[in-house]
Amino acid sequence: MSELNIYNCKIMKNYRSFYHNSLENPETFWRSQAEELDWFKFPREILSERTDGYWDWFKEGKLNTCYLAVDRHVNTGRGKQLALVYDSPVTGTKENYTYEDLLDKVEHTAGMLKGLGVKKGDRVVIYMPMIPQTVFAMLACARIGAVHSVVFGGFAPHELAIRIDDAEPKVILTASCGIEINKVIPYKPLIDAALEDAEHPVEHVVVFQREQLEAELIEPRDKDWERLCQAADPVGYEIVDANDLLYIIYTSGTTGKPKGVMRDHGGHAVALEFSMKYIYGIKPGEVFWAASDVGWVVGHSYIVYAPLIHGCTTILFEGKPVKTPDASTFWRVMDENKVNVFFTAPTAIRAMIKEDPEALLKKPYHLNSLRYMFLAGERCDGGTLNWLQNTLDIPVIDHWWQTESGWPMVANMPGIELLPIIEGSAGVPVPGYDMKVFDAEGIPLDSNEEGALAIKLPLPPGNLTGLWQNPDRFEAAYFKNIHGYYYTGDSAYISDDGHIFITGRVDDIINVAGHRLSTATIEEVVASHSEVAECAVIGVADILKGQIPMGFVVLKEGITKDPVEIQDELYKDVRAKVGPIASFKNCLIVDRLPKTRSGKILRQTMRSIADGKPYKVPSTIEDPVVLEEIERDLDTNWKSKMMAV
């Protein structure tokens, strides 16, 4: 069994002592990080074990996340500094909000929620595009101690309904539309359809009317956002407990039902503040831009909470890396706002490379403020890393994390010590994370051996505190596999000098254009088609999106319908039930699926075949010939099609 050799590595002196301290003296380490924040009452205990064997951080501390992110900065002289810049190439608008402006907006949005009867602990679902009102809404919930659950706008009504039924919100906040490049997407019909589908009754739907499309409101349930906000009295912050719930964010698990990841106020605030200083190496007053969406954890942590808690200016970008209007848009935003640290997903950069391989569109822009560029959300391929390094001439840093962690777990941390960048590695463990790789039997592996990556308990602050309404799944998904460790679901190996190389998922979760999806969710929809006998959906490698879902479908006996028609129906079904972001546009009709003798579909083997990787024929296979058939089907009906494109 190997221990990380970080302690013996000469170049990692600063990092080594930081990391060592965080693991040897976690309470002292995190106490001093907690002291960086303004508490109304400092925690009585730093780390305490719960009755379910998990841990709480900062017990009995009193604080308010919205106060930390907004009021505090106004009180300490940052009121006139820009807090939020909304840059929307899709609407051709730009709006600036100082910390004072932000406070005013958030106070009134909180007043609006209070006026609707929302109280501490009530849930509020936010299904909104990337507009400032979304940020005001999240902060307003935090202000009054309500629990927000932001659902990404690319999910279809059925997925929204599942989340509504689970979170049981009192109120839904939405906008009249979203804008995807040049398409106006009406949101209100999606909400209406979701509420029709859901069992949980919602008291009110508050709609922010955008000028691109006005939604029809049905009183008394539906309310006009602006009208309520204007009439609302400004509301102060509620003092909450460190372990009170700040938000629930749904993420894909290995079943069709999403997991409601819970995050508390105290640990979250401490971890995010730590990350800004030590991981991203950014100072208060500087400009941080995470080009993601508030519907994902990256958006929660690094568009909204962390930059604001740290007193930075954050950018809310409503657009895409390409086509809004072209691949120069990221460079323009960085130049115009003098961005110091930038964060996006490799897929966004690949989209830019495709449109502007020589980065000619960057030429008119000056990026001299930019110090670091961070990438996450999926594996960073060498081509993307090298292109960025050559184009930017600054450190381009891959880092690894998950919705569950809420902040990076593996990184290269310029705020502590910038280490040499190693292609293929997401860096070294962040302070607080004690990582090991295990084999399928739960036996620790040696360095350079690939297996399941797990993290020793207790996890540092900011990590999930549970799964909403589902303690059994919390236990089963994360802690049953390896005793005393959090099971990440990712495979990895650790090099001799402690660098972590993430190699993929060990389960059926896929990452499509930086969006985490469950193949089980897509499979449920495909399987429900009247002509489908059985199916498997797997993630296959895609040059732009990293991965895309691919369906293998066996039709019922005697079906005479044109297979192309069936394929089209399946694509439409998945789009309508899961959402457009599933990008389900590839599906093969096959005679049979490869299975073990006990009937388990061999998805992993199919994935290897589709990706052209070497694979072993499992000894448990029922009929090895099926693998040859699948290979042939892929070659003739998919790979040849891709080559033609």
Residues near ligand COA (CB under 6 A): 153-154, 178, 180, 185, 291-292, 296, 298, 320-322, 344-345, 347-348, 351, 376-377, 513-514, 580-581, 583
Q: Find out whether 544 and 350 touch, Cβ atoms under 8 Å.
A: yes
Q: Which tokens in the block code for residue 16?
A: 């080594």
192/490 with CB nearer ligand AMP = 490
378/434 with CB nearer ligand AMP = 378
Which of ligand AMP, ligand COA, none lies near 340, with the C-beta cut-off 5 to 8 A by kind? none
242/513 with CB nearer ligand AMP = 513
Q: Find out whether 298 and 494 touch, Cβ atoms under 8 Å.
A: no
* Binding mask of the shown chain, residues 494 to 523, with x at each position contacting ligand AMP by CB under 6 A: --------x--x-----x----x-------
Task: Give the β-pairing of 245-251 and 546-555.
Answer: unpaired
**Rounded Cα distance, 155 and 157, in Å:** 7
Q: Find out whether 140 and 112 touch, Cβ atoms under 8 Å.
A: yes
Q: Find out whether 346 and 546 touch, Cβ atoms under 8 Å.
A: yes
Which of ligand AMP, ligand COA, none lies near 257, with the C-beta cut-off 5 to 8 A by kind? none
Which of ligand AMP, ligand COA, none lies near 490, with the C-beta cut-off 5 to 8 A by kind? ligand AMP
Contacts of 491 (CB under 8 A, 6+ apart): 450, 451, 452, 453, 502, 503, 504, 505, 506
Closest distance of CB 329 from ligand AMP, Å: 23
6/184 with CB nearer ligand COA = 184
Sign of CA dihedral 131, 134, 135, 140: positive
If one asks whether residue 378 binds ligand AMP (CB under 6 A), the answer comes out as: yes
131/428 with CB nearer ligand COA = 131
Query: Euclidean distance between the first and final Cα of the chain, in Å?
Result: 48
Q: Which tokens in the block code for residue 254?
A: 């290995």
Which of ligand AMP, ligand COA, none lies near 164, with the C-beta cut-off 5 to 8 A by kind? none
Which of ligand COA, ligand AMP, none lies near 348, with the C-beta cut-off 5 to 8 A by kind? ligand COA
Closest distance of CB 485 from ligand COA, Å: 26
**Rounded Cα distance, 643 and 94, in Å:** 41
CB closest to ligand COA, residue no: 514
Which of ligand AMP, ligand COA, none lies near 331, with the C-beta cut-off 5 to 8 A by kind? none
Q: Find out whether 633 and 592 touch, Cβ atoms under 8 Å.
A: no
Closest distance of CB 488 from ligand AMP, Å: 6
How many residues belong to the chain? Answer: 645
Closest distance of CB 328 from ligand AMP, Å: 26
**Choices 155-163, 374-382, 384-392, 598-606; region in contact with ligand AMP by CB under 6 A:** 374-382
Contacts of 72 (CB under 8 A, 6+ apart): 38
If one asks whether residue 456 binds ligand AMP (CB under 6 A), the answer comes out as: no
77/420 with CB nearer ligand AMP = 420
Q: At what angle do helices 157-167 and 563-577 cross, to 10 degrees?
A: 40
Q: Would you call 364 helix, strand, or coil by DSSP? A: coil
Closest distance of CB 479 from ligand COA, Å: 26
Which of ligand COA, ligand AMP, none lies near 502, with the C-beta cut-off 5 to 8 A by kind? ligand AMP
**Rounded Cα distance, 520 and 452, in Å:** 21
208/237 with CB nearer ligand COA = 208
Residue 548 backbone phi and psi in degrees, to 5: -135, 155
Tell me, rounded to whole angstroms, the distance of Cα 30 from its chain centroid: 25
Closest distance of CB 406 from ligand AMP, Å: 9
**Rounded Cα distance, 495 and 286, in Å:** 35
* Binding mask of the shown chain, residues 278 to 317, with x at each position contacting ligand AMP by CB under 6 A: -------------------x--------------------
36/355 with CB nearer ligand COA = 355
If one asks whether residue 481 binds ligand AMP (CB under 6 A), the answer comes out as: no
* Binding mask of the shown chain, residues 412 to 451, with x at each position contacting ligand AMP by CB under 6 A: --------------x-------------------------
206/581 with CB nearer ligand AMP = 581
Please list every residue from 235 through 254 that binds ligand AMP, using CB under 6 A: 251
Q: Which tokens in the block code for residue 539?
A: 């993630």
**Choices 149-157, 378-386, 461-469, 632-640; region in contact with ligand AMP by CB under 6 A:** 378-386
Which of ligand AMP, ligand COA, none lies near 396, with the C-beta cut-off 5 to 8 A by kind? none
Q: Find out whether 425 and 500 touch, Cβ atoms under 8 Å.
A: yes
Q: Which tokens in the block code for residue 28?
A: 């002292």
Which of ligand AMP, ligand COA, none lies near 12, with the C-beta cut-off 5 to 8 A by kind? none
Q: Which tokens in the block code for residue 356?
A: 């502007």
The CA-CA-CA angle for residues 367, 371, 373, to 5°, reads 90
157/377 with CB nearer ligand COA = 377
If one asks whether residue 490 binds ligand AMP (CB under 6 A), the answer comes out as: yes
Q: Would you call 587 helix, strand, or coil by DSSP? A: strand
Which of ligand AMP, ligand COA, none lies near 260, with the C-beta cut-off 5 to 8 A by kind? none
Closest distance of CB 575 from ligand COA, Å: 7
**Rounded Cα distance, 436 and 4, in Å:** 8
292/391 with CB nearer ligand COA = 292
* Binding mask of the shown chain, residues 109 to 128, with x at each position contacting ligand AMP by CB under 6 A: --------------------
Closest distance of CB 548 from ligand AMP, Å: 15
Burial of 400 (0-12, 13-18, 19+ CB in 10 A): buried
Please list every residue from 383 through 412 that binds ligand AMP, using CB under 6 A: 398-403
Q: Find out whether 346 and 315 touch, Cβ atoms under 8 Å.
A: no
Cα Rg, the chain, nearest whole Å = 24
Partners of residue 98 on adjacent β-strands: 82
Largest distance between two CA atoms of the chain? 74
If one asks whether residue 73 binds ligand AMP (CB under 6 A), the answer comes out as: no
Q: Which tokens in the block code for residue 185?
A: 């997407």
**Rounded Cα distance, 638 and 79, in Å:** 57
The contact set with ligand AMP (CB under 6 A) reads 251, 297, 376-380, 398-403, 426, 489-490, 502, 505, 511, 516
